[in-house]
């Protein structure tokens, strides 16, 4: 497959902000591990800016980040700030609040509703902005506990002008209903991929489509391996489809998620310029009904 602009996958609106469906996830800029708990070497700052500029040049116009994406040497927000300071185009920045880490990197308990303003302001400072485009309330852990008080606190910050649009992350359908009763929800960000389809089992993917809400999978390529480094593809179905298109297995996995509906966005992360171009090109990959049926079979 040749490279293609991010616009090849089409667009979706996050509220009034229209973005290309292929975006970029900034977590890996701090290292290879989950949310900065790195087992790899963080990218050089200048290289990170060049990588982000390359993404923007190829049509990526939204990035996913968080103030808790940091390692001892790198902060994803700081790198994004640097890149945007020397970029003339419009880029939507989507961040998240709820969990937190102390300066040593240790995880803190889920923020109380009255602590969310501090987290929002921290993102504002790090990103160098006077308002945040989209803020996701990231629910911490499993279960069905109410998010109303936390989401209500963010809705107040939206009314105050610190936040433009709101989303939710790591949630169930009942949380979406609860949040939408308080304020508009523009996106749901959940773990989802070919090998990890709980969002199908719960009906969340279809529910988001019906309600005009973007569904944004994370770990769409890694699946059950989550933040683990890439390994050789073991799924014969993926190899079969990849060979038919001259594509990589990772591109097939991304394309499969995008085929779930026009409301599904992608935020793959990488520090490799080559993998970045491949991820963006996955938006131009059109799978046949037979290929989708093959990939959809449970193994």
Catalytic center residues: 69
Q: Which two tokens mark 59?
A: 């049509």
* Number of separate helices (H) and strands (E) present in the chain: 11, 11
**What's the number of CA atoms in the CB half-sphere (13 Å) around residue 238?**
20
If DSSP codes are grouped into helix, strand and coil, which group holds residue 167? strand
- Give the separation between CA 2 and CA 4, rounded to whole angstroms: 7
If DSSP codes are grouped into helix, strand and coil, which group holds residue 153? helix
Host H or E run for residue 13? strand 11-14
Give how far the C-alpha of residue 265 lies from the chain's centroid of Cα atoms, to the nearest Å: 8
Q: Please measure the distance between the N-terminal and C-terminal CA atoms of the chain and give it in whole angstroms.
A: 27
Contact in structure between 170 and 191 (CB atoms under 8 Å): yes
- Give the separation between CA 63 and CA 75, rounded to whole angstroms: 14
Q: Which two tokens mark 203?
A: 């009906």
Contact in structure between 176 and 207 (CB atoms under 8 Å): yes
Contact in structure between 98 and 66 (CB atoms under 8 Å): no
Contact in structure between 152 and 113 (CB atoms under 8 Å): yes
DSSP state of 21: S
Can you give the length of the chain in residues? 299
- Please enumerate in sequence order all residues whose Cβ is within 8 A of that of 46, keeping only pairs 6 or more positions apart, or say none: none
């Amino acid at each position: 497959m040749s490279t293609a602009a991010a616009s090849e996958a089409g667009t979706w609106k996050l509220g009034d902000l229209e973005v290309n469906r292929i975006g970029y996830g900034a977590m890996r800029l701090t290292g290879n591990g989950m949310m900065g708990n790195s087992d790899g070497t963080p990218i050089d700052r200048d290289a990170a800016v060049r990588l982000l500029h390359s993404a923007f040049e190829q049509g990526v116009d939204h990035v996913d980040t968080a103030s808790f994406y940091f390692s001892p040497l790198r902060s994803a927000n700081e790198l994004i700030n640097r890149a945007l300071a020397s970029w003339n185009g419009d880029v939507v920045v989507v961040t998240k609040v709820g969990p937190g880490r102390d300066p040593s990197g240790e995880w803190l308990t889920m923020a109380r509703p009255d602590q969310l303003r501090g987290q929002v302001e921290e993102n504002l400072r790090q990103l160098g902005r006077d308002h945040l485009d989209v803020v996701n309330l990231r629910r911490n852990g499993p279960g069905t506990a109410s998010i109303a008080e936390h989401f209500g606190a963010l809705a107040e910050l939206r009314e105050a002008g610190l936040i433009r649009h709101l989303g939710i992350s790591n949630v169930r359908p009942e949380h979406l209903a609860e949040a939408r009763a308080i304020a508009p929800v523009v996106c749901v960000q959940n773990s989802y991929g070919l090998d990890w389809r709980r969002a199908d089992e719960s009906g969340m993917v279809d529910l988001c489509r019906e309600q005009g809400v973007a569904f944004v999978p994370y770990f769409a390529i890694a699946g059950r391996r989550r933040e683990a480094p890439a390994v050789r593809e073991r799924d014969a179905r993926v190899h079969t489809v990849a060979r038919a298109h001259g594509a990589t297995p990772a591109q097939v996995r991304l394309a499969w998620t995008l085929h779930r509906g026009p409301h599904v966005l992608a935020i793959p992360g990488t520090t490799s310029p080559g993998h970045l171009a491949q991820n963006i090109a996955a938006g131009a990959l059109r799978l046949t009904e037979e290929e989708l049926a093959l990939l959809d079979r449970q193994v």
